[in-house]
Amino acid sequence: MEVTFVLYPNMTSLDLIGPFEVLASVPVVTPKFAAATLDPVRSDNGLVVQPTHTFADVESTGIVVVPGSGRWKKVLTESGELVEWLRAVHPTTKWTTSVCTGSTLLAEAGLVSRATTHWAAREDLEVRGVEVARERVVFDGKVVTGAGVSAGIDMALRLVEAEFGEEVAQAVQVGIEYDPQPPRAFDSIPPEIAQGLKTAFDTSSR
């Protein structure tokens, strides 16, 4: 199955690499890395990734994975070409997925009605007419969204289970030795810490 990983400037690298490691562990998966051009793409923390295809090259694909960005407000103002491509390719996919604030790009394209995202971007998702869920992974028809950053691994494992079965998902999870401990979530930490984080993310997202 062909999986197209979306690249764009200021994407968050773990949003991309986490699902890639999970999905690429399945032998029948063929990955592609698509961007507006074939120029190298720099993540928000400086990792540089080389695209293998342009958006124009990919007219159909089995799965799309859209990473988020720590600068998602800026990305949303510059994402016209990506959003148009998502609208065009979505009818051809079996699964259209996102990680973190990538769900705001799916919302901008009008592809999702209920989704999760990074806690700092919930309002940006809501103002785009999407019902905001607080689960770590959300299935909305063929659209699958993962919450912030590391949740991309969980999203991809759930996707592997849905597409290839529970035993394959278990094998992949044990293969990458993914056993997150201890579990913590934004809604469970002290309010003063949560507010400080929210202020920092609101500032850095622009």
Rounded to whole angstroms, how far apart are CA atoms 68 and 129? 18
Rounded to whole angstroms, how far apart are CA atoms 50 and 10? 14
Contacts of 131 (CB under 8 A, 6+ apart): 113, 114, 115
Q: Is the peptide bond before 19 cis (omega within 30 degrees of 0)?
A: no
Q: State the DSSP H helix or E strand holding residue 131, giving kind and residue range, or none if neither.
A: strand 131-132
Catalytic residue among 14, 36, 66, 100: 100
Rounded to whole angstroms, how far apart are CA atoms 84 and 81? 5
Tokens standing for 29?
Answer: 């998966």
**Paired residues of 86 in beta bridges:** none
100 is catalytic: yes
Report the catalytic residues. 100
